[in-house]
Structure 1
């Protein structure tokens, strides 16, 4: 897994990868946003909804913990062995949005994640135990890994998926 020398490097990478990812949707039409193609497991709209779902989970985990609540990861209604159901909930949540709205919401949500990363001290961000929600699994990851695995990593993976989708969609 990629590592970062400091908070700014993480933030810069999130910003860069988010922009590269969302720019891939510039040639996707509204009429094609829900189109599935062979060998790509999500529609363009679902790809963005997936990203929004995970970004909002991180934001919600933080909000819940700051309110003194016990955070259930990944979600109170979904366990780690039912991620398919969680993903379906993401798609359902965003299914009625236009592609332009999804792209706009994505940009706003990425900015919220960047703001969140900026709010952490280096110790909170890079050492295990920075937040209870980040220590809620046996891996006991520091916050930066949770942010990375739900931003930079899927932005790269899904960028290749949307490129493959565009190639097959003509």
Structure 2
């Protein structure tokens, strides 16, 4: 995992990876957004919903901590050993959204994550323990690592997934 020397470095990588990830969806037809294919564990809509769910969770953790509330990670209704049901809740939240709306929301949430990232001082960004929510697991990660793990890393890995999905879908269309 990369280590970021500054908030700006993470923001630059986040912008790049977000643009590459969401750009993959421009050629997917609306009627295909919920299509599950063998060898790919999520539909295109689920891939975006996953990203939205995590970005919104991090933003909520920060808002709650700033409001003096106790932050329960990953979510008040789910424990760390219940990530599958948490992901399902993300998919259900966005199940009726169009692909265009999902893509627009993704762009908006990335902008919010960039604003959040830049709102931290360099010390808050780099040091473990600067936020209670960031220290909520035994790993006691610094804020930058939480942001990376829930933006840049899945933007990269899910870009690979959507590219595989498109390759399989295109192969099926040629057969038919």
Q: Normalized against structure 2, the TM-score is what?
A: 0.96
Report the Cα distance in structure 2 between the residues aligned to 1:104 and 1:79, rounded to whole angstroms. 29
Match of 2:89 in 1: 89
Shift of residue 130 of structure 1?
1.3
> Where does residue 138 of structure 1 map in the other structure?
138
1:129 alignment partner in structure 2:
129
Matched, 1:167 2:151: no
Whichever of the two has the greater Rg, that structure is 2
Kindly state the Cα deviation for residue 163 of structure 1 after the two structures are TM-superposed.
0.2
Q: Deviations over 1:103-125 (max 9, x none)?
A: 00000000000000000000000
State the Cα RMSD in Å.
Answer: 0.4
* Match of residue 18 from structure 1: 18
Alpha-carbon displacement from aligned partner over 1:89-140 (angstroms, at most 9, x marks no partner): 0000000000000000000000000000000000000100111100111000
Partners of 1:123 and 1:155 lie apart in 2 by 26
2-side partners of 1:71 and 1:168: how far apart? 41
Residue 162 of structure 1 aligns to a residue in which SS? Answer: helix
Separation in 2 of the partners of 1:113 and 1:140?
20
Tell me how far 1:3 sits from its aligned partner: 1.0
Off by >2 Å, runs of 4+ in structure 1:
none
Distance of 2:2 and 2:15 partners within structure 1: 15
Distance 1:84 1:7 in 2: 31
Question: Shift of the alpha carbon at 1:2?
Answer: 1.1
Q: What stretches of structure 2 of length at least 5 have no aligned partner?
A: 171-176
Gaps of 5+ in 1: none
Aligned twin of 1:105: 105
Show CA shifts across 1:52-111 (max 9, x none): 000000000001101100100000000000000000000000000000000000000000
Distance in 1 of aligned mates of 2:138 and 2:8: 27
For 1:63 and 1:116, the matched residues in 2 are separated by 10
